[in-house]
Amino acid sequence: MKNTFAVIMAGGKGERFWPLSTSKTPKQMLSLAGGKPLIQLAVERLRGLIPPANIFIITSADLAGAIARTVPSVNPSNIIGEPMGRDTAAAVALASALVGQRARNGVFAVLTADHLIGPKAAFQKSLLACFKAAASNDVLITIGIPPTYAATGFGYIEAGQPSGLPGGAHLVKALRFVEKPDGKTAKRYLASGRYYWNSGMFVWSVAAIQKALEKHAPHLYRMARRLEPQIGSAAFRKALAKEYNQLDRISIDYAVMEKSHNILMARSSFNWDDVGTWAAIEKHFPKDPRGNVRTGLCETLDSDGNIVVSDGRLTGLIGVKDLIVVQANGATLICRKDRAEDVKKLVRLLHDTGAYEELL
């Protein structure tokens, strides 16, 4: 389709993958599975659907150069470094300006840089159906993932009736967004069959998302319209910094999606894993006879069900089970698998001490 674009969000820090993930090499730059950096996989899965010239990457300013080297198929001028993190609503507004400057009638997908998705054909088929619906309708499309277990780490979308638009049962009305639930609520969501994981991926036209921004977040709409004529000029970077400096942090879900009434949900037919913690990589690697996942230099004795990542040094385990052990970048992490979510808390604690910035 003409005038279709993709904007890949690549600004996250991936703190739950410390110490392998750091501010200089965040999660999206890591080869956690698939043998390639996650950002490279994100670009490659668009091949054949979106022309390389129509792929944008929004990241942090200090990562723009590294990402350009990692994905040389994307024009460096299409890799935009945000001067500071202002969450997804600001990035979406910026994306609407980038695409709008190229094609006011453009349609674009907002995609993630740090998720594992496949197979490629199913992913592209889903995106194509979304593009067709968004190109000719004033709708905001979010992609929902059929849940496979009662997850408490994801937000959910309650699905309604089929939309009646091209795409059949693939596109349904989105009734509401709900926050990460507790375990009991997550089980109820799973049993109902009506709730889907919120993937954080969207498809819409420039006109539809800017109309929604104008109604629900007018300051972001005005920012997008002010920035659009400056894109590609020598003044753009300074103008972007000025605009971002005036913004508060807010997600696109809070700013727009939870307030809008023209939301559709595309029910995905592809596999999806947000690879949110060290524990999540277990399913993507082979295990030894005792259920250990081992990458790098590692030996185990009488140890079961551990995840070991040892980058550059030999790590040995004796008589332990269900641990995550990561040695990388001059630091070592040891935690129980069921505490994997708390790695982010540890990183914040280390930041607060002010003594370990070179390791973060």
83 is written with which tokens? 């001067």
pLDDT per residue over 13-44, tens digit each?
Answer: 778 999 999 988 899 999 888 789 999 999 99
| Residues carrying CATH 3.90.550.10, the chain | 4-273
Residues in the chain with pLDDT values less than 70? 1, 166-169
State how far the Cα of 105 lies from the Cα of 291, in Å rounded to an integer.
52
CB 59 within 8 Å of CB 80:
yes
Do 281 and 275 form a contact (C-beta atoms < 8 A)?
yes
Asked whether the beta carbons of 201 and 142 are under 8 A apart, the reply is yes
Tokens of residue 58, six digits: 């929004």
Q: Is 51 left (phi over 0), alpha (psi -120 to 50) or beta?
A: beta
Structure tokens at 87: 């969450």
pLDDT at 167: 54
Structure tokens at 203: 């498809």
CA–CA separation, 289 and 308 (whole Å) = 15
Rounded to whole angstroms, how far apart are CA atoms 353 and 360?
12
Sign of CA dihedral 212, 217, 219, 220: negative
Q: What pLDDT is stored for residue 42 in this prediction?
A: 96
CA distances from 270 to 56, 122, 280, 326, 330 (A): 23, 5, 18, 30, 37
- The pLDDT value given to residue 169: 56
Integer-rounded Cα radius of gyration of the chain: 21
Rounded to whole angstroms, how far apart are CA atoms 228 and 133?
25
Distance in angstroms (rounded) separating the CA atoms of residues 205 and 271: 25
Give the torsion sign (CA, 181, 95, 118, 133). Answer: positive
Cα–Cα distance between 270 and 217 in angstroms, integer?
32
What is the CATH code of the structural domain delimited by 4-273?
A: 3.90.550.10
